[in-house]
Homo-oligomer: A and B are copies of this chain.
Amino acid sequence: MTSAKERLSWWNPNIPPLDGRAREGARDRDAQLTKPPGSLGRLERLAQTLAAIQSSSHPSSRPAATLIFAADHPVCRHGVSAYPQAVTAAMMQNFLCGGAASSVMARHLGVALRVVDVGVENPYDVPTCHDTTPAAERDGWEPSLLRHDAAATVAGDIRVEDAMSAQTFELALRAGRDAVDELPPDTRVVALGDMGIGNTTPAAAIACSILGATPETVTGHGTGLDRSRLLAKIDVVRDAAARAERCGPLEVLRKVGGREIAALTAAIIRSAERRIVALIDGVIVTAAALVATRFEPQVVDYLVFAHRSREPAHGAMLETLGVQPLLDLDFALGEATGALSALSLLDLACVIHRDMATFADAKVPDRDST
Known: A224-B367, A329-B345. A133 touches B101 (CB 8 A): no
Q: Say if the beta carbon of A231 comes within 8 Å of chain B.
A: no
Q: Say if the beta carbon of A82 comes within 8 Å of chain B.
A: yes
Chain B residues near A97 (CB-CB < 8 A): 357, 362
Chain A residues 11-57 with CB under 8 Å of chain B are 33-43
Q: Say if the beta carbon of A199 comes within 8 Å of chain B.
A: no
Interface residues of A (CB under 8 A from B): 33-43, 82-84, 86-87, 90-91, 93-94, 97-101, 104-105, 107-108, 132-133, 135-136, 223-224, 310, 326-333, 337, 340-341, 344-345, 347-348, 351-352, 354-357, 361-367, 369-370
Chain B proximity of A326: nearest CB distance (Å): 7
Known: A99-B357, A332-B39, A355-B135. A86 touches B34 (CB 8 A): no
Name the residue on B nearest A341 (C-beta): B348
Chain B proximity of A177: nearest CB distance (Å): 29
Cβ contact within 8 Å between A100 and B357: yes
Closest 4 interchain pairs by CB?
A99-B357, A41-B330, A344-B344, A36-B223
Chain B proximity of A84: nearest CB distance (Å): 5
Chain B residues near A136 (CB-CB < 8 A): 355
